[in-house]
Structure 1
Amino acid sequence: MTQILNKPEDTVSQILNGVSFIHQEKLERVPQTGIIKYRHVTNQSVAIISGGGSGHEPAHFGYVGRGMLQASISGPVFVPPSVEDILQGIEEINAPKGTLLIIKNFEADVRNFLEAKKQARQKGYLVEHVIVNDDCSIEKGSYRKRRRGVAGTVFVHKILGAAAANGMNLNDLKELGEDVVASMNTLGVAVSSGRKIGSDERVFKLEKDEISFGIGIHGEPGYRKEPFFSSEYLANELLNKLLVRYSEISSKQFAILINGLGSTTLMEQFVFSNDIKRLLELEQVNCVFQKSGNFMTSTDMSGISLTLLEIKDLSWLDYLKQETDAFAW
């Protein structure tokens, strides 16, 4: 299948130029970097900054806006941004009340962001971080929990961004972020693998009508392959494996995020959403917030992920509902 691209090596820069053109009333690109920043930063609150490799659009620049991120930093496809770009992003925003970095739990991402944090502190900036590890899949064969940072990261962007906009200080934001991460779990399933940019080569192999449970957003293999049966079957597996992470479900409140992984149509997402609705009712799960769409993709992978967040404090729900002009929320 043809991809509407130019030279593969120019893709990331052209993505950033394109998004800053389309949303120029509120977003701007820092030239020659992976930084997209909000045009209307007031410096009246703690700055929230996040980022990662490209190929996950609309993450992360889609969440730059009032009440969410002040800046995002994009690296090459599936490769984290450089230490230099992350440091420059902190300097560009220059928040007197401090900066909180939201980092997805991948080794290279954590290494680069924490090095940038170290260098920023040496320059006198007030910087803290939160690491998101919402993925609760397992490695095939070893049964070791992977705890990668995946679609639930967007819930962290929203809650911390709203809390910061409401005046929460840096240390309290870090504590809030850690509480939210500890209350959240995500699982994904692929129907077809994404492709490498400018190539027909697939990141991993799936046979016709075969699916993979527990895939990662960089093409990491899942924990089980099997023939596809139905959307309802997928919903049942993902929801049940998430619900066992929580005790006394009937007494809790949950937010859910249904995330398309790149080329999953809205039709499929809404069919899956209906299946989740029916299962939630059957299990007597109190769902107080729900959202579906493409939030954190993996190039053009066809598949879906489901995130459950236990709402441990009603302020979290208020933060999820608070208005933002970030275009991808």
Structure 2
Amino acid sequence: MKKIINDPNQVVQDMVDGLVAAFPKTMKKVEGTLVIARSDAPVSNKVGLVSGGGSGHEPAHAGYVGKGMLDAAVCGEVFTSPTPDQVFEAIKAVDGGAGVFLVIKNYTGDVLNFEMAAELAEAEGIQVEKVVVNDDVAVEDSSFTTGRRGIAGTVFVHKIAGAKAESGASLEEVKAVAEKVVGNVRSMGMALTPCIVPAAGEPSFKLDNDEMEIGIGIHGEPGINRTQIDSADAIATALTEKVLEDHDFSGEVAVMINGLGATPEMELFIVNKKVQEILADKGISVYKTFVGEYMTSLEMAGCSVSLLKLDDELKELLDAESGAPAFRM
């Protein structure tokens, strides 16, 4: 295993400290926790937005902390759900009196632990609402979930719900727009290589040199099939057509071509070329495209394709200002 780390058991703590040191005007660490909050949190009379999960998906989730997006992110250990007490600390850190909204990816541990934290917060008089993101069309159930997994489409929820909260919307209004995004976003990914969790020191799964996995999850969970490596056009077609089959994307969409950690931008743009051609052929108008690493899986090589069907409200919120380091607009 070759990694630029110190102690394999301290990677998250070291990462959190380094991230906050890089953006001290944007974010701060909540003392005694692995929670990163906006530097000005809590913002009075504003709905606080909290997300998080296991680390290893950087820039998700802490990279999306900042004005116009998340008020706090909870950094669990690598590929491990954060504990309820850590999520509770995040809720308290961003409670400005207007309630707190939780964005949760659909993984069993995340859902249980965030819900337990919400109960603790409500017992202290903090109003909490939530949305569970389940954008992955590849599989209905996996080793980590009941129902569909939450993957890169979660970033659109962060952006749009964050913009809504920043505008002064109520907790109910933030929840409504977050649910609209969840209802209109779909994603699917693939991998060429596995990744290595630092504390484990060995690949989380195996792929032969000529193999790829279609429909894989962001922790390396199995997809729908394992085949020989194919061309970028074939990969883009397989992912995009599966996404299009699952929802009516007629009209305007936002596109996200997401790298999983070790895929060069050159390859992501090649995938994007084909995705754009497919959408154009189907008469689907692309309003905005995002290409890069938004939700990774350590050093896994691969990518995912996300489509978000837009209306006027979602377009306005997608275009709104963001001061988060990983999503500046």
Q: TM-score, normalised by structure 2?
A: 0.95
Percent pairwise identity: 38
| Alignment correspondent of 1:302 | 301
Residue 102 of structure 2 aligns to a residue whose secondary structure is strand
Q: Distance in 1 between matches of 2:238 and 2:280?
A: 16
| 2:324 paired residue number | 326
Aligned counterparts, 1:246-265, within 5 A: 246-247=247-248, 249=249, 251-265=250-264
Measure how far apart 1:140 and its partner are: 9.5
The C-alpha deviation readout for 1:197-223, integer Å capped at 9, x for no partner, is 156511111011211011011110111
What amino acid does structure 2 have at the position aligned with 1:60? H
Equivalent position SS for 2:46:
coil
> Could you tell me which residue of structure 2 aligns to residue 280 of structure 1?
279
Alignment correspondent of 2:22? 22
CA distance in 1, matches of 2:149, 2:74: 19
1:140–1:224 Cα contact (<8 Å) kept? no
Contact 1:137 1:146 (C-alpha < 8 Å) held by counterparts: no
Q: Give, in whole Å, the separation in 1 of the partners of 2:146 and 2:252.
A: 25
- More displaced, 315-324 or 196-205? 196-205
Q: Is the 8 A contact 1:49 1:99 kept in 2?
A: yes
State which drifts further: 131-140 or 188-197: 131-140
- 2:265 is matched with 266
**Residues 85, 117 of structure 2: 8 Å contact kept:** yes
Give the Cα separation in 2 of the matches to 1:172 and 1:325: 22
CA–CA distance in structure 2, aligned partners of residues 265 and 200 of structure 1:
24
Q: How many residues align?
A: 324
Task: Rate the CA distance shift 1:140–1:116 in 2: closer, same or farther, 3 A.
Answer: closer
3-state SS of the aligned residue for 2:240? helix
Structure 2: how far apart are the matches of 1:13 and 1:235? 36
Distance of 1:317 and 1:261 partners within structure 2: 26
The CA distance in 2 between the partners of 1:320 and 1:166, in whole Å, is 13
- Give the 5 Å matches for 1:13-162: 13-41=13-41, 42-138=43-139, 146-162=147-163
Q: CA deviation at 1:196?
A: 1.8
What residue in structure 1 maps to residue 290 of structure 2? Answer: 291
> Partners in 2 of 1:43 and 1:188 — Cα distance?
39
Letter in 2 for 1:322: A
- Report the CA distance between 1:128 and its aligned residue: 0.7
Kept in 2: contact 1:213–1:225 (CA 8 A): yes
Runs of 4+ in 1 over 3 A off after TM superposition: none
User: Cα deviation per residue 1:173-193 (whole Å; 9 max; x = unaligned)?
Assistant: 112211210111110000111
CA distance in 2, matches of 1:218, 1:294: 15
Displacement of 1:31: 2.7
User: Does residue 22 of structure 2 align to residue 6 of structure 1?
Assistant: no
Contact 1:139-1:222 at 8 Å conserved across structures: no
Q: Which one-letter code corresponds to 1:71 in the other structure?
A: A
What is the one-letter code of the residue matched to 2:326? A
Per the alignment, residue 235 of structure 1 pairs with: 236
Q: In structure 2, give the amino acid aligned to 1:32.
A: G
RMSD of aligned alpha carbons: 1.7
What TM-score does the superposition give when structure 1 sets the normalisation length? 0.95
Shift of residue 304, structure 1, vs aligned partner:
0.1
Contact 1:104/1:110 (<8 A) preserved: yes
Q: SS of the residue aligned with 1:17? A: helix
Distance (Å, rounded) in 2 between the aligned partners of 1:84 and 1:290: 37
* Pair 1:222 & 2:223 matched: yes
CA contact (8 A) 1:135 1:146 kept: no
